[in-house]
Structure 1
Amino acid sequence: MIAAYALTALLGLLTVFQFALIFGAPLGRFAWGGTHRILPTRLRIGSAVSVVIYAVIALLALDCAGVIDLVPDAVSTVAMWVVFAYFVLGIAMNGISRSKPERYTMAPLSALLAALSLLVVLS
């Protein structure tokens, strides 16, 4: 259960970060390949989609951990394995970014999210 809460908290912090990007904060070097200081409209839309994905992941993690009951256990378990794979892919994608700030912050963060997701699904 602690891993689910930690995962949810990190996703909350990422949501704040994505909202900052959506509203024009000059943090683009940490996201979407790091090529834009302030994100163009298409990447701001991508950040908005990310916020929705983070919310779904948080709900799935809390469901899988038994904190809430939204979907059958089998569904949340399979979904959390998909989430784990998603974050593992994130490690690779952030790790090959041309942006050093993105590589050095988001790749380790993705690794932490993957580890927490794995702990949730195995608990």
Structure 2
Amino acid sequence: MIQIATLAYLIIIAGLIFFQFCLIAGAPWGRITQGGQHAGTLPLTGRLAAALSVLLLLCMGAGIASAAGMTPFWPVWTAYAALVVQVLSTILNWITPSRIERLIWAPVTSVMLVLASYVVFAK
């Protein structure tokens, strides 16, 4: 069951990475990300934040995969670090002033939090 939860988490991570790459490439989805402050395409600073998000998501995915005994076999603390970032992301998505972000990302990050918590603590 841990493997299934990990794969579900990684599939969501892959979708989010795809979303971030679309933002970097100029997709006009500024209203549904980064606080919803930018209609249309993100400015350069927003695109750089999306690039940083890609790196963070990759590390989170690797940390949770490692906790499940999957490659890349990172130390256990990386899973706990990923879980902390996931908690913060979930909180921020629930309290954002952007209604559309709360509707889209709060449930997504909540599911991710449940999956990551299960992987980390269900041993």
Name stretches of at least 5 consecutive residues in structure 1 with no aligned partner.
Answer: none
Q: Structure 1 counterpart of 2:24, which letter?
A: I
Partner of 1:119: 118
Partner of 2:54: 51
TM-score by length of 2: 0.89
Name stretches of at least 5 consecutive residues in structure 2 with no aligned partner.
Answer: none
For residues 69 and 97 of structure 1, the distance between their equivalents in structure 2, rounded to whole angstroms, comes to: 33
CA RMSD of aligned residues (A): 1.3
Q: Which of structures 1 and 2 has the larger relative contact order (alpha carbons within 8 angstroms, sep 6+)?
A: 1
For residues 120 and 83 of structure 1, the distance between their equivalents in structure 2, rounded to whole angstroms, comes to: 11
How many residues are matched? Answer: 119
Partner of 1:24: 26
For residues 79 and 70 of structure 2, the distance between their equivalents in structure 1, rounded to whole angstroms, comes to: 14
TM-aligned CA distance change 1:79 to 1:104, over 3 Å = same
TM-score by length of 1: 0.89
Q: How does 1:21-100 map to 2 (within 5 A)?
A: 21-37=23-39, 38-71=41-74, 75-76=75-76, 78-100=77-99
4+ residue segments displaced more than 4 Å: none
1:66 counterpart SS class: coil
CA positional deviation for 1:69 = 4.7
